Homo-oligomer: A and B are copies of this chain.
Amino acid sequence: MKTKKRTTIYDIAEKLNITASSVSRALNNRNYVNEATKQLILKTAAELNYKRNILASNLRMGKTKTIGVVVPRINQNFFSNVIVGLEDATYQQGYNLIICQSNESHEKEIQCINTLINQHVDCIVISVSVDSNDYSHLQNVIDHGIQLIQFDRIIDELETLKVINDNEQASMEAVSHLIEQGYKRIALLEGPQGLAIFSQRKAGYLKALKKYHIAQESELIIENAWTKELGAQATRKLLSLPNPPDAIFASTSDFSALGVLEVANAMNIKVPTQLGICGYANEPFTELTTPSITTIDQFSVYMGKTIANLYFQENENKEVVITPKTISIMPKLIVRSSTIKKG
């Protein structure tokens, strides 16, 4: 395996009988280089197929033009779409992405963070895992002078840049939609309340009930039903109540909504006439089920782009541009068959 020897600034310097410092300055378009020699250097660099050695540059500068991303799962549609958006925007700026998945484990998340700190990434973008119980590892990121950006699943107390969805509002709209469609008893499948996104969605649910003067009933609120299996389980429980709900808002995810739908189908309960179902996240499958599932789109790719832009605005711009610390994106209710009761 014969490896081409890469040309260095010293090779260029030697060839032109000047010093490496001048070459460096010319390549970086700094002052104190004669225009003529600069052109000569650039020309020679091109001829010798010079490529800056990023490893050397990284060491010297202490910057890596690399952004670390930590998500619970790479292959979850929402996250992979955020990554798509991130990759797109950062690539254009010559940045690279190092991607880690926490697998919803706090332990692994800490390891990922430490790895990224060790890698001297310039920025860490994270959506915390569900069992994140403290955030000293994130504080550690900040202490290392690394820009930290939280998105979606954020820890509110931590003062960082944040890109989120307006979960409460979206949730309220979804529930309002259900009420307006004539559903009377609306159940809520809620996620681990330790995560703000889930408690916000619950708040939106309660707000909608209040707005329409509907009493909240605790038997209709099922804790911790955030996977397909747990959603199915919760649905069985709900539908066997003496006074069962006529709609279920799976505020945790489309997967739990899918669990609801499958149980309804198995029990031969008609959707949407006997039971309305609303999910969350606009997973691609929601428009393919029968009936298709009403859900909430989070503009995930756009979210990724927004995160990237936030970073660049905050760190690259020389002019003093005041950027907001938190950007909230308004999700959109996608009404499909599973909740259309009225013609």
Contact = CB atoms under 8 A, between A and B. Distances in A.
Nearest to A63: B55
A326 interface: no
B55 A120 contact: yes
A143 B2 CA distance: 7
A285 interface: yes
Interface size class of A (residues with CB under 8 A): 35 or more
A172 interface: no
Contact of A87 (B74, B97, B144): B74
A81 B91 contact: no
Q: A interface, by DSSP: helix, strand, loop or mixed?
A: mixed
Given A144-B4, A145-B1, A83 B87 contact: no
A291 to B, nearest CB: 9
Copies of this chain present in the complex amount to 2
A99 interface: yes
Contacts of A56: 59
A265 B99 CA distance: 40
A84 B55 contact: no
A18 interface: no
Nearest to A285: B285
Nearest to A261: B288
Interface string A88-118: 0001000011111100000000000001011
A55 B51 contact: no
B120 A54 contact: yes
A87 B59 contact: no
Contacts of A285: 284-285, 288
Interface of A: 1-4, 51-56, 58-59, 62, 64, 66, 73-75, 77, 80-81, 83-84, 87, 91, 96-101, 115, 117-120, 142-145, 258, 284-285, 288-290
Ranked 6 nearest A-B pairs via Cβ: A3-B145, A290-B290, A75-B80, A55-B59, A285-B285, A55-B58
Given A4-B143, A54-B118, 11 more contacts: A1-B142, A3-B143, A51-B117, A53-B59, A55-B55, A55-B59, A58-B58, A87-B99, A91-B115, A97-B98, A258-B288
